[in-house]
Each structure stands twice: as C-alpha cells, then as structure tokens.
Structure 1
Amino acid sequence: MAVTVGRVFLAQPCTSAAFIGNVKHIHRSSFGFSAKPGVAPSRHSRTVVRAQERPTWLPGLDPPPHLNGTLAGDYGFDPLGLGEDPESLKWYVQAELMHCRFAMAGVAGILLTDLLRVTGISSIPVWYEAGAMKFGFASTRTLFIVQMILMGFVETKRYMDFINPGSQAEDGTFFGLEAALEGLEPGYPGGPILNPLGLAKDIKNAHDWKLKEIKNGRLAMIAMLGFFVQASVTHAGPIDNLAEHLSNPWHKTIVQTLANNSS
C-alpha cells in the first residue's frame, strides 16, 4: 500500500519487533500494549509509515526507471515515456534548459517594458505588438536576416558542443574567446562572459544551482503561457491587468474577466 504526505511513503503493518531501514517498528494493540511474539495482529493494529527520500511530482507515484533522480529537477515526470532512450533524454534535458532560459529572459523583458510603458517613462508598444514596430536604422527584413545569422551561428555551436562535448572550447573555435567562455559541460558554457559573478564554477557539483535554475525556468514557462492567454483574452499587458485587478480585487478577477469575454 502506498501512502504519502508531500513525499513518497511505503506503509507496512507491523506484527512484532522488526527493523525496516534504520527505524525500529514494534507492533502494538489498539490499547497501547506490546503484542506477544507469534500473535497475529488485530484489525486495530497500528501501521508504521516509512518515508523514502525522493519526492515525486505526483504523491504516491513510483518514478520511471530511466529517471533515477540524478538530473536537476527530476521528480519522475515523464508520462509519455519520452526519455526512455538515454540519447533522447540528453537532448530533452538540453531542450528544456534552453526553453527555460528563453522564458526567463522573455518574462523579465515583458514585465520591464510593460512597467516602463504603463508609468509613462517610455512610449514603447505593448509586448505583443513590439514585433510589428518599425525601426529607422534598419528594415524589418534586414533585422530578420541578421537575427537568423547570429542565432543560427550560436545554436550551431551549441549543437556541436552537445554532440562532441568540449570541442568548442578548443583554440580557434570561437574567435579567440574560448578562454572567456570556459566550456564547462553541454548547456553550461560559463566563463567571465556568461558567468560574470563566478557562480557555480564547479558545475559538476553545482546541483543546487542547477535545481534553482530549472525550477525558475519552469515557472517562467508557465508565466509565458499565462501572458499569451492573458493578451488573447484581455488585449492588454500584464501590468495593466494587475493594476485593474488591484483597483477592485473582489470584482475584477480572472473569473469575471473570462466570463465577460465569453459572453
């Protein structure tokens, strides 16, 4: 029988003095007296619960074998079994990491620009209209081509480092900036350029930093999804929506907003 409160637990009835792990279990009757050896437990016998150390995304769930808890942020979530192949799992780990970082940058950019717009500090457009904005120093086509070239170059280098770890840290592979990047491991280039504060220099033993990053990244991806839905329903930015909610918290909520827009 599996029971849990925040972690995975295994419940086992005790019939006599026994050791499970490092915890001693003694069967007692419903009146608190120790049962005699060899006597079968009554239906009122207590059940001793032993907690496992690893939490899972769904209480009481046994994680799949290919997720053994060694990956940062691994809570046994793979309902479709996408990571059963070890090589595919490595790619999905890198893909999630990059999506997390893009989402964190996107959330920070949306909130900052929206705050500047709402307070009147800048006349920049709302975030979902920024892509249609025209710039005087270059045409939209030119900016698109430059962006494709730059991002294509960086993503190609990242992919090459993924299939051959450490290859992009060799001399002459990055315009002489190899020492400033210090390729630590795939997904974590580091160095003074990408790690100016010197956090997690020993990336092999930086499990806590990796866990914090992946947790914040997953939260940012959910926030980005919320921004998309919010913009589609309300046609306003997140700061505008927040200000409207704070003006009348009991009557201007997500429930009223969805109800008004559906009618």
Structure 2
Amino acid sequence: MNATMLKSSFLSSIAARPQAPRPFKSNGSRVCMRANAEAQLSGNWLPGAKNPEYLEGLPANYGFDPLRLGQDPKALAWYRHAELIHCRYAMAAVAGILLPDVLNHVGVLNLPDWWNAGKVAQDNSPIPFKTLIALEIFAYNFVEVKRWQDFKKPGSQAEPGSFVGLEGFFKGSGENGYPGGIFDPFGLSKGPGFEAMKIREIKNGRLAMVAFLGFTGQYLATSKSPIDNLVDHLKAPLANNFTTNGVSLPIQAHPLLTVLHP
C-alpha cells in the first residue's frame, strides 16, 4: 500500500467517524445549558434507587431524603432554606479558618488559631464581654426576624413602612433564600447563569459543612490547625493520618505505622 492509499484510507475513516453534536447557541449561555444538564444528570445518592418526585426541580438534587421528611411542601421549603443558610455560614467559617492559617504559614500575618481567635478578640476588645453579647443578640435577632418574614412572604421586606424608609435596600430577587439587592452586588441572581450559580453554591456549601466538621474533629484529635495537619501528612503520609492520631479509631494503630514517624 503506497502513501496515497494510506492517506485516502485515513481520511475515509475520519469522515465515517460519528461527530459529537455541537452545543446549540441560543439566548441562554453555555453555562445555563451546563447547569440544566447537571441538574438532569445529578444521579442518586443511593445507586439504583429512584429520586423522590417531590424533590424534582431542586438544585443539585441527589434524591437524599431517607426519612422522607420533605413530603410536606411547606416543610421542604423550610428545609431547603435552612440548608442554604447553613451552607453560607459554613463557607464563611471555612474561609475564615483556612485563609488566616495559610497567611500564618507563609509569614504574611501572625493571627491566632481559629479555636482561640474568639478568646483573643474578647480579651482585646474595648467593649465589655456582657455588652458585646447583648449587642450580638440584638443584631442577630433583627437579622433572623427579617429573614423569617421574608421567608414567609418573599419580597415583603421591600414593602413601604417595613424598615424606616430603607426598604429599597432589602428588595430581594423574589425567590426564597436568594435575597438579591445589596446582598448581590455583582448581579449574579440575574441572567441565564443564575441556575448554575445555585448548583455551585449548594455543592460548595455542602462540602464546607463537611469540611468544618473535619476541622473540628482534627483539632479535637490533634490540637492542630488544618494546614498543620496537612503539612504533617504530606511529610509522612503513613505516620500522620486518621489511623495514627489515637482518637479516630477504637483500636490502637499498628506499631509499624508509629515507627515510621520521623
């Protein structure tokens, strides 16, 4: 077979190969198409099981409701809202733990460890501790009441007379859990990418909740920060892991693992 025949055969095989369909461009962006595809192919947390019908339409839905607590639509709306709030708190907490820890290790700052930061702030605060607690209770009560009222009636906090003439600042997106307005300075709740942002937020939030539990467990087991634990593990993976901290497992680690400790 000469070079001409080889070339012809190669081109024929390419032409016969099925081509992947190109994404159709419409008013919705590729991000929106990706979000819809991800929502449809989210799968199930239990392989082979069928997603409950009452969970359909929720972002990042994996059908996880083994106790079927979401069968009541009103209860499901509250659970969804509560999960969002916990996700956001967890993401803020994880960022507040990791960023100072990283900056400490690279020598940019010298900040207290996360489990001790509250006491350091209290000891150095010009406001007496009891006064500070009273102010925080008042502030949290105000925010939680506004959130609860907006949950019961989305958009109600923008109605005239709801907040001494500043109601416009609390005008939300009209959807429970997504306040919009001043809480969305980049306008992410508008446009075709909103559905994709919902999926990203809930997935990152769930990961953050697990991460925070991990940080807490690590400190209780090792009395170290997450970055300290990571550095120790990278230096000696077999000697520094959950089997060797003396807490995670109900039995003592094998002596061979402890011998590997530098």
Deviations 1:129-177 (A, max 9, x none): 2222212311222221111111110110000011122111113423444
Determine whether 1:218 maps to 2:182: no
Cross-structure match for 1:162: 151
Any residues of structure 2 matched to 1:65-104 within 5 Å, and which?
65-67=53-55, 69-104=56-91
Determine whether 1:106 maps to 2:107: no
Alignment coverage as a number of residue pairs: 209
Q: Is the 8 A contact 2:155 2:171 kept in 1?
A: no
Determine whether 1:235 maps to 2:223: yes
Give the Cα–Cα distance (whole angstroms) in 1 for the partners of residues 79 and 149 of structure 2: 16
Cross-structure match for 1:174: 163
Deviations 1:220-246 (A, max 9, x none): 000011011001100111111112122
Name the SS of the counterpart of 1:171 in structure 2.
coil
Cross-structure match for 2:50: 62
Name the SS of the counterpart of 1:256 in structure 2.
coil
Q: Is the 8 A contact 1:106 1:224 kept in 2?
A: yes
Give the CA RMSD over aligned residues.
2.3
Corresponding letter in the other structure for 1:151: Y
Give 1:253 deviation, angstroms: 2.3
Q: Is the 8 A contact 1:117 1:126 kept in 2?
A: no
Give the Cα–Cα distance (whole angstroms) in 2 for the partners of residues 53 and 232 of structure 1: 38
Greater shift after overlay, 72-81 or 132-141?
132-141
Name the SS of the counterpart of 1:228 in structure 2.
helix
Question: Cα distance 1:55–1:118, how it changes in 2: closer, same or farther (>3 A)?
Answer: same
Cross-structure match for 1:43: none
**Of 169, 176, 185, which aligns to 1:186?**
176
Determine whether 1:125 maps to 2:125: no
Question: Cα distance 1:54–1:221, how it changes in 2: closer, same or farther (>3 A)?
Answer: closer
Give 1:202 deviation, angstroms: 4.7
Cross-structure match for 1:141: 130
Give the Cα–Cα distance (whole angstroms) in 1 for the partners of residues 131 and 64 of structure 2: 42
Question: Cα distance 1:136–1:180, how it changes in 2: closer, same or farther (>3 A)?
Answer: closer
> More helix by proportion, 1 or 2?
2
Q: Is the 8 A contact 1:157 1:168 kept in 2?
A: yes
Give the Cα–Cα distance (whole angstroms) in 2 for the partners of residues 260 and 200 of structure 1: 42
Q: Is the 8 A contact 2:42 2:61 kept in 1?
A: no
Corresponding letter in the other structure for 1:102: Y
Q: Is the 8 A contact 2:157 2:170 kept in 1?
A: no
Question: Cα distance 1:116–1:144, how it changes in 2: closer, same or farther (>3 A)?
Answer: farther
Which consecutive unaligned segments of at least 5 residues does structure 2 have?
1-39, 253-262
Which consecutive unaligned segments of at least 5 residues does structure 1 have?
1-51
Q: When the two structures are superposed, what TM-score results if normalisation uses the length of structure 2?
A: 0.72
Q: When the two structures are superposed, what TM-score results if normalisation uses the length of structure 1?
A: 0.72
Name the SS of the counterpart of 2:100 in structure 1.
helix
> More strand by proportion, 1 or 2?
1
Q: Is the 8 A contact 2:157 2:171 kept in 1?
A: no
- Percent identical: 47
Q: Is the 8 A contact 1:103 1:224 kept in 2?
A: yes
Give 1:255 deviation, angstroms: 2.3
